[in-house]
Amino acid sequence: MIELNHITKVFNRGKVNEVAALNDVSLRIAPGEFVVLVGANGSGKTTLLNIISGAALPSKGTVRLHGEEVTRLPEYKRSRWVARVFQDPLGGTAPELSILDNFRLAALRTQRKKLKIGIDEAFKVAVRERIARLGLGLEDKLQQPMGTLSGGQRQALTLLMSVMDHTDILLLDEPTAALDPKSAEVVMETAESLIRQYNLTTVLITHNMRETQRFGSRLIQMAQGRVARDLDRDAKEKLRLEEMYEWFG
Amino acid sequence: MIFYLTALIQGLCLSAMGLGIFITMKIFRIPDITTDGSYTLGAAVTAVLLMQGWPLLPVIGLTIVMGALAGVMTGLVHTRLKVDALLAGILVMTGLYSVNLTLLGRSNIPLINIDTIFSALALFERQIYNELWVGLLFLGILSALLAYMLRTDFGIAMRATGNSESMTRAMGINNDRMKIIGLAIANALTALSGFLVAQYQHFTDINMGIGIVLVGLGSVLIGDALISWLGIRHIWLQLLFVLAGCILFQMILAVALSLGVNPNMLKLITSVFVLAIVGIPRLARRKQL
């Protein structure tokens, strides 16, 4: 459960470039709900995601995750509940570390990183099996540095990494924006299957209207730092592509 | 032969500092200049305690703690006060000059007729072989410990922190705390180099750390060039090449001296040499473009 109560976020307060990115936004996202967030550039979508993940702290208002007040809790502590896939495929992984090292960190997201060698044969087998399910042929390249993979491969692996440890909330910040159509398809199919399998509460930011139609159980449109439209599954399914385009003028 | 053996031992003594600079520069990508101060701090603590008759084990322990504290200070200034890492290092290094001078009580302390780690662990009749074996033993232990640590879950988290901060934050890692720990380990290692060098050269001098960061930097850059050239990924092999870089650097300086270069010019040669290591690959890349 994600609860945002009267969230306001102002950047550069008191300066000439002061911007109110979010303006008194209140939202309740139920457990297992899959929310698709759309809006023009600068409408506050990513700021909203940052407020949920803890990457940004609100100027006003409160944030609760699973009933717990987390408004001032830093991002690394919120990772107990929240996994995130960044728009930039480089952002969600450590490029110089091997695929295996990246997965080891992901497997310990909610745990202490101890002074013991945790990558054993059993762990390698488990990672290999999971990666094999993607069908990208990466299961035999576990020692390869993450930075040598394509953007699509990295995003698919980042998604897989997000469920290596206990996860309640998955934040997808335009995960396919930097990908070619085929890679984007693989990434979104992987995301959908994992969300269903682990019953994740999900927020997806996208500019792709077809993704908006195809995925999610709720659609929220942001405009000028506010929630402009909030449509449930029925209303979302009735929505035509042309109508959505009209939202952006 | 003895001349080059001396350079080899000097390289071994400075290798701990090389490992420390590898942590800050290559793992965390932090330009840490605390090194100049923490190296002398290690030597100063060693000299003062040995002169007071302390046994070697507590001296090593206290040297590590003091070096680590210097690193923690730089880490706190950098992460808590959001001061640029370079400036934070300069501030702590400058402050350490007074701390070291206060510890020493004068500008230098000779360590004559005192049991050193080299005499305590002596196996051979000739002193130089004892210095060589103790240097190798010391470095063997330090490298093994560091290689093990960097392969643990904590070590992976540490390596990831310097690689992608957005990723590590999302993976539940407190980047600031990790940087402070990294700087503490790096400066503890540097202080251990001070511990070894003070006993090897039988004195501690307040100015012995001036410009030493450049020696460490040059050594790591040589090691890094070899690592990139050979495409080495295993962390323990990378550490081995950093150690090789430290020894190679001292060897090159020794060759310069043997060719009759004025010792007063040694710092200038060090600077020019490091500049060459940094500059030549860049010029070569520009030519390729």
- Count how many domains chain A has: 1
Closest to A92 (Cβ–Cβ): which among B170, B172, B173? B170
The answer to whether B264 and B238 are in contact (CB under 8 A) is no
Query: What is the average pLDDT across A15-19?
Result: 90
A94 contacts on B by Cβ (under 8 Å) = 159-160, 163-164, 167-168
B164 contacts on A by Cβ (under 8 Å) = 90-95
Is A90 within 8 Å of chain B by CB?
A: yes
Q: Please tell me the predicted confidence (pLDDT) of residue A210.
A: 85
CATH number at residue A237: 3.40.50.300
Is A249 within 8 Å of chain B by CB?
A: no
Strand, helix or coil at A44?
coil
- Count how many domains chain B has: 1
Query: Chain-centre distance of CA A187, in angstroms?
Result: 12
Query: Chain-centre distance of CA B102, in angstroms?
Result: 23
Q: Which of B56, B80, B240 is nearest to B146 (CA)?
A: B240
Judged by CB atoms closer than 8 Å, whether chains meet at A97 and B163 is answered as: yes
What stretch of H or E contains A85? Answer: strand A82-85
B152 contacts on A by Cβ (under 8 Å) = 113-118
The answer to whether A34 and A195 are in contact (CB under 8 A) is yes
Alpha-carbon distance values, A181 to A10, A41, A127, A184 (Å) = 35, 21, 26, 5
Closest to B163 (Cβ–Cβ): which among A95, A106, A119? A95
**Domain span at residue B129?**
2-288
> End-to-end CA distance of chain A, in Å?
33
In angstroms, the separation between the Cα of residue A110 and the nearest Cα of chain B is: 6
What stretch of H or E contains A33? Answer: none
**Domain span at residue A29?**
2-247
Is A122 within 8 Å of chain B by CB?
A: no
User: Would you place residue A73 in the very low, low, confident or very high pLDDT band (cuts 50, 70, 90)?
Assistant: very high
B171 contacts on A by Cβ (under 8 Å) = 76, 79, 105-106, 108-109
B258-277 residues labelled b (16+ CB within 10 A) or e (exposed): eeeeeeeeeeebbeebbeeb
The token pair that represents A122 in the structure block: 């059993």
Q: Please tell me the predicted confidence (pLDDT) of residue A224.
A: 92
Q: Please tell me the predicted confidence (pLDDT) of residue B95.
A: 98
CATH number at residue B32: 1.10.3470
Say what angle helices A151-162 and A99-107 make with each other, to 10 degrees.
30
In order, the DSSP letters of chain B are -HHHHHHHHHHHHHHHHHHHHIIIIIIS-----THHHHHHHHHHHHHHHHHTT--HHHHHHHHHHHHHHHHHHHHHHHHHS---HHHHHHHHHHHHHHHHHHHHSSSEEE--S---HHHHT--SSSHHHHHHHHHHHHHHHHHHHHHHHHHSHHHHHHHHHHH-HHHHHHTT--HHHHHHHHHHHHHHHHHHHHHHHHHHHTEEETTTTTTHHHHHHHHHHHHHHHHHHHT---HHHHHHHHHHHHHHHHHHHHHHHHTT--GGGHHHHHHHHHHHHHHHHHHHHHHH-
Query: Chain-centre distance of CA B42, in angstroms?
Result: 11
HSE at residue A71, side-chain half, CA atoms within 13 A, is 13
A76 contacts on B by Cβ (under 8 Å) = 168-175
Q: What is the DSSP letter of A122?
A: H
In angstroms, the separation between the Cα of residue B105 and the nearest Cα of chain A is: 40
Judged by CB atoms closer than 8 Å, whether chains meet at B172 and A109 is answered as: yes
Phi-psi group of B285: left, alpha or beta (phi > 0 → left; psi -120 to 50 → alpha; rest → beta)? alpha
The token pair that represents A85 in the structure block: 């896939």
Burial tier of B55 (Cβ tally within 10 Å: 0-12, 13-18, 19+): exposed
DSSP-assigned beta bridge partners for residue A231: A219
Q: Please tell me the predicted confidence (pLDDT) of residue B289.
A: 67
Rg of the Cα trace of chain A?
A: 18
Judged by CB atoms closer than 8 Å, whether chains meet at B151 and A117 is answered as: yes
Q: Which phi and psi angles does B150 have, rounded to 5°?
A: -70, -15
Judged by CB atoms closer than 8 Å, whether chains meet at B157 and A94 is answered as: no
DSSP-assigned beta bridge partners for residue A69: A64
The token pair that represents B192 in the structure block: 């251990």
The answer to whether B6 and B140 are in contact (CB under 8 A) is no
Q: Please tell me the predicted confidence (pLDDT) of residue A249.
A: 64
The answer to whether A221 and A39 are in contact (CB under 8 A) is yes
Judged by CB atoms closer than 8 Å, whether chains meet at B172 and A79 is answered as: yes
Closest to B166 (Cβ–Cβ): which among A86, A96, A117? A86
Q: Which of A115, A122, A109 is nearest to A166 (CA)?
A: A109
Q: Which of B150, B152, B153, B165 to mutate to test the interface with A (most CBs of A within 10 A)?
A: B153
Can you list the residues of chain B whose pLDDT is less than 50? none
- Which amino acid is residue A18, in one-letter code? E
Judged by CB atoms closer than 8 Å, whether chains meet at A108 and B172 is answered as: yes
Give tens-digit pLDDT for A137-195.
899 999 999 999 998 899 999 999 999 999 999 999 999 888 888 888 888 999 999 99
Q: Which of A226, A199, A229, A225 is nearest to A212 (CA)?
A: A229
pTM for the predicted model, two decimal places = 0.91
What stretch of H or E contains A169? Answer: strand A169-173
> End-to-end CA distance of chain B, in Å?
44
| pLDDT: which is higher, B269 or A202 | A202
Q: Please tell me the predicted confidence (pLDDT) of residue B276.
A: 85
In angstroms, the separation between the Cα of residue A94 and the nearest Cα of chain B is: 5
In angstroms, the separation between the Cα of residue B237 and the nearest Cα of chain A is: 15
Give tens-digit pLDDT for B223-261.
888 888 888 888 889 999 999 999 998 998 888 888 888
In angstroms, the separation between the Cα of residue A75 and the nearest Cα of chain B is: 6
Rg of the Cα trace of chain B?
A: 19
